[in-house]
Amino acid sequence: MAEIGKNLQIASELLNQGEVIAIPTETVYGLAGNALHADTVKKIYQIKGRPENNPLIIHLPDFDQFEKYVRNIPQNALRLAEKFWPGPMTLLLEKTALIPDQTTASLPRVAVRIPNHPLTLSLLNMLDYPLAAPSANPYGYISPTSAVQVKEQLGDKIRYILDGGPCQKGIESTIIGFDGEIPVIYRKGFITPSDVETVCSEVKIHENRDQEIITSGMSLSHYAPKTPVFLTKHIENFQDHFPVEHTGILAFTTCHPLVPREFQRILSPSGDLAEAAKNLYLAMYELDTMKLDRIVAEFLPDVGIGMAINDRLTRAANQIIS
Ligand code: TXA
Ligand code: MG
């Protein structure tokens, strides 16, 4: 069973031996290993149960070694990096030969990020390779935002979980690729389209098409609890669709008067979208452990970070109800 601790020495030694451990970031916990080592990368896929055609993000401590791993960097990528790193943003850039095909699932681009977490930045500074890390959940399930959540999901498959406390942002990074110089958002996140527009004059949003999976966060039925999730704009009327008994509520600001309090999670009583993002996955996870028949979740205002939260809720949902 995995040990939870804050010991960077243990963490770096295990990584140097080619092991996979869990690390904290400001978004969600990651399942990390040497990104330059094909066998370690294979272990990450195995532990996560993730199809090998679904590439990983590499994590670096700073810009120093950047050009060893990526090339032909658009000017706008540099501008975004300057503004938002370290932080919850991942850039898709052309890889160099140092990055093995296993890490990018043979794609020509590699996903790169400088995370903003002091413990993980210290760890990355101790290593002479980047860390490949997908979110530390079994494939398709809810991403973990605490060390205990990682232990409950993958504790029997790894030896060490570096404990960085609860994740401050709570949803996965915004993924941005480039069409020439134009940034294209592939996965919504904490860095919003209008944040990108403060740096680049134009931004495109890559809309999901059926069958096409460019990033796993784009596949439907992702980030999903095992309990069926129904998503609605009118949570106050959910009892028109379902019995009140055995229903869990995931609401933005307000409790439902008919449902016992213990079966409800309120994401932000004051209506703060950043706080809602931070609480989202733990709330989903807790409701999922209650053996309820269904979870009814509420759409959040579709602005700013609300767009990223609604994206995750939509992927978690089995059905949208009126
Ligand atoms: O916040 C985050 O991004 C977290 C923390 C741990 O950094 N990581 C994370 O990783 O969410 P993961 O693997 O769960 O999601 C990364 C997404 C996947 O949907 C993957 O398909 C996409 O990034 N991706 C990675 N490399 C790519 C590439 N070369 N081209 C297109 N998509 C890529
Ligand atoms: Mg993930």
Residue 215 has pLDDT above 60, yes or no: no
Question: Nearest bound ligand to CA 31?
Answer: 1
CA 32 to the chain's CA centroid: 13
Secondary structure of residue 259 in the 3-state scheme: coil
CA dihedral 56, 62, 64, 67 (to 10 degrees): 30
pLDDT value of residue 210:
42
Q: Which two tokens stand for residue 114?
A: 């400088």
Residue 236: pLDDT band (50, 70, 90) is very high
User: Is a pLDDT exceeding 50 seen at residue 181?
Assistant: yes
Is 203's pLDDT higher than 60?
yes
Condensed to tens digits (0 to 9), the pLDDT of residues 246-257 reads: 999 999 999 999
pLDDT of 206: 93
| Cα of 62 from ligand 2 centre, angstroms | 23
Q: What is the pLDDT of residue 72?
A: 97
CA dist 19 and 14 (Å) reads: 5
Kindly state the percentage of the chain with pLDDT values over 70: 96
Question: For 258-294, how does the pLDDT look when each residue is reduced to its tens digit (9 = 90+)?
Answer: 999 999 999 999 999 999 999 999 999 999 999 999 9
With 50 as the cut, is the pLDDT of residue 97 above it?
Answer: yes
pLDDT in the model for residue 120? 98
The residue whose CB lies within 8 Å of the most ligand 1 atoms, and thus the one to mutate among 31, 52, 53, 56, is: 56
3-state secondary structure of 29: coil
- How high is the pLDDT of residue 65? 87
Cα–Cα dist 95/9, whole Å: 30
Pocket lining for ligand 1, CB < 6 angstroms: 25, 27-28, 30, 54-57, 90, 92, 104, 107, 109-111, 113, 115, 133-135, 172-173, 175, 214-217
Q: Which atom of ligand 1 is nearest to the CA of 115?
A: 7
What pLDDT is attached to residue 221? 62
Could you tell which of 28, 54, 70, 90 is best to mutate to test the pocket of ligand 1, judged by most ligand atoms within 8 Å of the CB? Answer: 90
Predicted confidence (pLDDT) at residue 214 exceeds the cutoff of 80:
no
- Between CA 316 and CA 174 the distance in angstroms is 18
pLDDT in tens, 31-75: 999 999 999 999 999 999 999 999 999 999 999 989 999 999 999
Reported as a pLDDT band with limits 50, 70 and 90, residue 95 is very high
Q: Residue 186 and residue 99: Cα distance in Å, rounded?
A: 21
Return d(Cα 73, Cα 284) in angstroms, integer: 38
Write down the mean pLDDT value for the chain: 95
At 268, give phi and psi (nearest 5°): -160, 100
Q: Is the pLDDT confidence value at 213 over 70?
A: no
Strand partners, 128: none
Q: Which of 57, 92, 190, 278 to mutate to test the pocket of ligand 1 (most atoms within 8 A of CB)?
A: 57
Report the separation in Å between the CA atom of 247 and the middle of ligand 1, taken as the mean of its atom positions: 32
Ligand 1: which residue has its CA nearest to atom 3? 173
